[in-house]
Each structure stands twice: as C-alpha cells, then as structure tokens.
Chains A and B, each alone.
Chain A
Amino acid sequence: MSKRLTKLILFYLILVGLWQGLAFLKLWPEYIFPTPLGVLKTLLTGFEDKTFIIGILISMKRILIGYGLSIVVGLCVGLLIGRIKTLDETVGSLVLGFQALPSICWLPLALVWFGLSESAMLAIVILGSLFSIIIGADTGVKNVPPIYIRAARTMGAKEIQLYTKVIIPAALPSIISGFKQGWSFAWRSLMAAELLYVGLGLGHLLMMGRELNDMNQVIAVMIVIIIIGIVVDRLIFAKIENKVRERWGLT
C-alpha cells in the first residue's frame, strides 16, 4: 500500500515538475498556458475570498436536491417496473430510450419550460440521474433469484413483505450501483448546465475564468470539480458498494 502511494506521489511530482518546466520555457503566454504556482495561488485566494466555497455550496445544494428527488422517484419507478410486467414493457422501454439521451440535450426544452432559472438546473440534474437509478433498481429486482421469493412465500410472506424484506435487500447491490452511476451523471450534467447559466456555481466560475482569460482560475476550478467527483465516487459510493458486496457474499 505504502509502495503504491510512493509511486503515486512520485508520478504527480514528476507531472507537476514537467508542467512547471514547460511553463519556464515560456512557449505560450501565461493566459493560455498557466503555471502550477499560478493555479495554486488562484486556488488559495479562491478559498480565501470564499468565491470557491460559495461556488461549491451552490453546486452542492443543486445536486443534492436534484439527486435526492431522483433517488425517490427512480427507486419507486424502478422497483415497480422490475416486478410488474406490463409496466416493464411500456414504461421500461421509455426509460431505456431516455437513458440513451445525454441529459444536456434536455437543456433547450428545460430553458423553454422553466426559463434560465434554478428549476431548469434542477430539471437537468434530475433527468441526468433518474434513468440510471431506475435501471439500477429495475435490474436489481429482475435479478433477484426466484428461489428467494419462493422461500419467503412458503414462510408466509405477503406481497409488501416480499418487497421490503426480500426484493429490496436482494436487489441492494444493483440499486447502489445505479445510485453511483446516477451520481456521476448528475454531477456531469450539472457542470454542463452551469456553464450555460449565470448562477455562481462551479460551472459558472469556470466560464468566468474563460471570460476573464484567466486560465489559472479555469484549471483551479477544474481541479476542485475533479476532487469533489473523486471524493464522492471513491470515498462514499465505492465504500458503500464494497461493503454491500462483501456482506452479500458477491466478492
């Protein structure tokens, strides 16, 4: 583990060193090719004058509301179409179709319906994550080994108990995978939507960097976005996923 960490640190030191070296050569002006030091400085001042913190909070608020709504709706729909054949054959096909559509393609429609507003932003986040969550729950339910359901029924389980005590726990690994994928789609969609909308989120800070020709800020915001993505994906979802898989005996 520590050997791996050493390799990792060494790799990034070399990468930053190369970057700084290229910057020293001054092949391009600084507003096109920023230096690591400049980026670091922007990062620090960004956090000091709270613009980055506000940006993070605003983006986080949007994603939490949108993603939360997605989870509630997606879970209900997914659990139902996984078990009810007619719903699967009708709504299920619609979900698969929409899943193929990148969520940013909803933006024109969202702008017409909701205007250039917070609601349009939420709509993009919801539409970005909803279908992955539905499909995760749906797949999970469909793949519950029939013998679990038969066993539970012979022990006297009714339909609602089947859902709460057997189907949902059995489908949980797949549901969590759906949540994880839904999260990353939601995060991507939100960033794309914020680029096009004035509203102080992280995407907006990126766009501001471009307008001010401040590539230091662009790179700094990109780093913030990457770090948030990694933290949520690796530290939260991957951990939950591993724990569930381990307990379910899938590893």
Chain B
Amino acid sequence: MSKVVHKSGQTEELKNLDKLKPNKIIDVRGAVCPHPLNLIRDSIISLKDNEILQAVCDHEPTAKENAPRFCTRRGYPLQVIEQNGVWQIFIQKIEKTEPRLRVLNVSKVFKTNHGRVTAIDNVDLTIQEGEFVCIVGPSGCGKSTLLNLIAGLDKPTQGEIWSNGNRVTGPGSERVVVFQEGALFPWLTVMQNVEFGLKLRQVPLEIRRTLALDYLKLVGLDEKFHNSFIHQLSGGMKQRVALARALVMEPAILLMDEPFAALDVYTRETLQEELQNIWTESHKTIVFVTHNVQEAILLGDRVIVFARNPGRIKAEYEIDITRPRKIDHPEVFLNTKWITDDIKEELEEPAYKADTREVVYK
C-alpha cells in the first residue's frame, strides 16, 4: 500500500509511482537525526534542473505539514510516500530563480602587525528571496566580517558578492545593517532617527513621517517615546528603533549583526518573537549573525555554522519548525541540542581540525 502525504497532511493513493524515476537515491535509514532532510540537503542543492532525488528513511521525515517547506521555498516540489513503514521522499528541482544574494568564493585577509590574518576563507553562499538565514559561530570566526562584506562596508580580498543581480561594490540602502548597539544617533529624536535614511533619499517630510510612524508601530514602540532622545530609552527600545530605522528603508536584504546580544534575557525573547512576527508578515530576506545556537534555530529557516581559523562554513542546517516558534518549543530544544552536539568541537577546541563538513549516510 502506498500513499502520498500532501503538505496539508492529507493522504492519497499514489497510482503512478513508477513515473517518478529518480536520478539519485540516498538511503538514510538508521541515521540519528530528527530531520532526515538535513542529511540530504547537499544532495538536494546539487540537483540540476528537473532532476529527481529519492531519499529513503525509516521514520517520518518530520511533522507532516512542515517537512516540505524548505524544499517548496526553493521551488522544489516534494512528495513523501509511506510504504510498509519506510518513508520515501521524492524531490524534483524544477526552476532556477535568481537568488537575492550570492557570495562567490569570498576570502578576506586582514593585514595586522603580526602578519596576515585570514578572517574568511573561500566562503560560498546563496540566499534566496524571503529566506531567514542565521549565521552562527564562535567569536572570531569571521561571521561579522562576512556581514560587513555583504553590507559593502568592507571589500573582499578575493571573490565576489552579488545582491539582487548587482555586484556589491560599496554600502547601499538595499542592504541595511542593524548593529548590536550604539548605532542610533544621540542628537536626533527617535522619530528623526527612523526618518534619517529617508531624509538622505530626500523623501518629503509628510511621507517620511507617515512611514516612520508605520514602522515604529510595527516594531511596537510606544508613541510616548517618539520624541524622546536615544539616551532616554532602554536597551530593548533602542533595538526596536534600530530595527524600525532599517526596515523603513525597505531593504532587499536586512542584515543583522548580533542585534539582541546586549539585551537581557526577557527583552531578548520578546524581540525575537516580534522579529519572527515581522518576518512572517513581510517575508523579508534576512541574514542574522549570532553566536547563540538557540537563537539561530529559533529564528532561522537555515542555520549556517561558521568555523574559525580560518573563518569558513562548517555546516548548514535546515530548520523546519512551525512558526511562531517559542524558545521552549521541544523542537527548538531538540534541534539546539543536536546542532550544538554536532558543532561542539568547533565551539570548544581552538580549531585545527580538518573540515568535517560531511553527513552520515548509511
């Protein structure tokens, strides 16, 4: 007996199973991983147009309605078939969309008094429109350097960065950055800070005001603070203003450099929740840098783990947990534990290990 499980969770007899002729077959039965899709992501990504991949696993890939999301997001239709306790996953790549961001073989070398330091070594990264990508890694792994390169605040030593089909040569308001703290202008009021970028674009006052009000409302800043100066706000309120100031520019990609790292736990949780809501509504493309694995899993569709010495991508994970995600959601906990275990050596040891970017196929 075979059946197709749809995104909605409905099942249906599969009549023409033999029509799906896979180009590749991967067997991941016996793998200890809550999301078998993660084990085959590299194979999925390397699929060429119209190629079909078949994966076999011995448990349900993940919660039915979530499983196919990362595939569908990339325009890959997916079918999950259950047959005698064995789950078959079929994935076909059908179209190739121009990605929002492409980082091509980028390296960055800094010259210091002690010689040349490779901050980033040969990083390759593609981010699709509407993706929420978290880059996580220990301090000094070059994740912020990569963000600066994407923002155009720094130039790569080697490689290219393309945003929206244009080569990145300098900073621009289609790639606005939300910094950790202290980037708001103290001589301007909250409102004037949010209007700042629009004023640079010479947007007329009335439109500026309306947009600023909209975005301040979106980030949930109380109206009574609109005319306050920055030093009169709490840390959480400051980051709300910073977020509004970036969003009001309607950037193609929102870059966030550890924006919640300096906040206390409760404020951080509130802001994480609101950022999720904002993303769910707007589907902005977001690149979020953090050193906190749990935060990355809570927020991201995709988590990219960075290793240091030199900074490079160690692993990537797809996070298919229903939103809104709560910090105490069991799936968030499970994934955090799983990924933390996976990258433990990276977090603990002063990395001299060889690149262990491989997954356990059985």
Q: Does A157 lie at the interface of the complex (its beta carbon under 8 Å from any beta carbon of B)?
A: yes
Q: Does A32 lie at the interface of the complex (its beta carbon under 8 Å from any beta carbon of B)?
A: no
Whole-angstrom CA separation of A247 from B173 in the bound complex: 28
Closest to B170 in A: A153
Contact assessment for B176 and A249 in the assembled complex, using a CB-CB cutoff below 8 Å: no
- Which residue in A151, A166, A249 is a CB contact (below 8 Å) of B230? A249
Contact assessment for B231 and A154 in the assembled complex, using a CB-CB cutoff below 8 Å: no
Closest to B172 in A: A156
Q: Does B229 lie at the interface of the complex (its beta carbon under 8 Å from any beta carbon of A)?
A: yes
CB within 8 Å of B: which of A141-159?
Answer: 145, 147-148, 150-157
Q: Does A172 lie at the interface of the complex (its beta carbon under 8 Å from any beta carbon of B)?
A: yes
- Which residue in B183, B231, B232, B255 is a CB contact (below 8 Å) of A148? B183
A145 to chain B, nearest CB (A): 7
Contact assessment for B187 and A161 in the assembled complex, using a CB-CB cutoff below 8 Å: no
A82 to chain B, nearest CB (A): 17
- Which residue in A147, A166, A247, A249 is a CB contact (below 8 Å) of B179? A147
A186 to chain B, nearest CB (A): 27
CB within 8 Å of A: which of B174-196?
Answer: 175-177, 179, 182-188, 196
B181 to chain A, nearest CB (A): 9
* Complex interface: chain A residues within 8 A of B138 (CB): none
Contact assessment for B177 and A248 in the assembled complex, using a CB-CB cutoff below 8 Å: no
B241 to chain A, nearest CB (A): 12
Among A151, A248, A249, which residue has the most Cβ atoms of chain B within 10 A?
A151
Contact assessment for A165 and B196 in the assembled complex, using a CB-CB cutoff below 8 Å: yes
Contact assessment for A172 and B182 in the assembled complex, using a CB-CB cutoff below 8 Å: no
Q: Does A135 lie at the interface of the complex (its beta carbon under 8 Å from any beta carbon of B)?
A: no
Whole-angstrom CA separation of A211 from B185 in the bound complex: 57
CB within 8 Å of B: which of A173-203?
Answer: none
B256 to chain A, nearest CB (A): 12
* Complex interface: chain A residues within 8 A of B232 (CB): 249
Contact assessment for B173 and A150 in the assembled complex, using a CB-CB cutoff below 8 Å: no
Q: How many A-B residue pairs have CB under 8 A?
A: 66
Q: Does A218 lie at the interface of the complex (its beta carbon under 8 Å from any beta carbon of B)?
A: no
Contact with A along B247-259 (1 / 0, CB 8 A): 0010000010000
A240 to chain B, nearest CB (A): 14
Task: Decide: A155 near B185, CB < 8 A? Known: A147-B179, A150-B179, A165-B200.
Answer: no
Contact assessment for B187 and A154 in the assembled complex, using a CB-CB cutoff below 8 Å: no
Task: Decide: A170 near B187, CB < 8 A? Known: A154-B153, A154-B175.
Answer: yes
* Complex interface: chain A residues within 8 A of B196 (CB): 152, 155, 165
CB within 8 Å of B: which of A226-251?
Answer: 247-249
* Complex interface: chain A residues within 8 A of B183 (CB): 147-148, 150-151
CB within 8 Å of B: which of A83-121?
Answer: none
Q: Does B201 lie at the interface of the complex (its beta carbon under 8 Å from any beta carbon of A)?
A: yes
Contact assessment for B186 and A157 in the assembled complex, using a CB-CB cutoff below 8 Å: no
Q: Does B235 lie at the interface of the complex (its beta carbon under 8 Å from any beta carbon of A)?
A: no
Closest to B248 in A: A155
Contact assessment for A154 and B151 in the assembled complex, using a CB-CB cutoff below 8 Å: yes
A89 to chain B, nearest CB (A): 19
Q: Does A169 lie at the interface of the complex (its beta carbon under 8 Å from any beta carbon of B)?
A: yes
* Complex interface: chain A residues within 8 A of B186 (CB): 247-249
Contact assessment for B153 and A156 in the assembled complex, using a CB-CB cutoff below 8 Å: no
Contact assessment for A155 and B187 in the assembled complex, using a CB-CB cutoff below 8 Å: no
Contact assessment for A156 and B200 in the assembled complex, using a CB-CB cutoff below 8 Å: yes
Among B172, B179, B200, which residue has the most Cβ atoms of chain A within 10 A?
B200
Contact assessment for B176 and A154 in the assembled complex, using a CB-CB cutoff below 8 Å: yes
Whole-angstrom CA separation of A161 from B179 in the bound complex: 20
Among A150, A157, A249, which residue has the most Cβ atoms of chain B within 10 A?
A150
A140 to chain B, nearest CB (A): 12
Contact assessment for A155 and B230 in the assembled complex, using a CB-CB cutoff below 8 Å: no
A144 to chain B, nearest CB (A): 11
B184 to chain A, nearest CB (A): 8
A-B contact pairs, 12 of them (CB 8 A): A145-B182, A151-B177, A151-B183, A154-B153, A154-B171, A154-B177, A155-B245, A155-B249, A156-B172, A156-B173, A165-B200, A169-B185
What 9 additional pairs, Cβ within 8 angstroms, besides A153-B171, A169-B187? A148-B183, A150-B177, A154-B152, A156-B249, A161-B200, A166-B185, A169-B188, A248-B187, A249-B186
List the 4 closest pairs (A to B, CB-CB), nearest first. A249-B231, A156-B173, A155-B197, A151-B183
A-side residues, CB < 8 A to B, are 145, 147-148, 150-157, 161, 165-166, 169-170, 172, 247-249
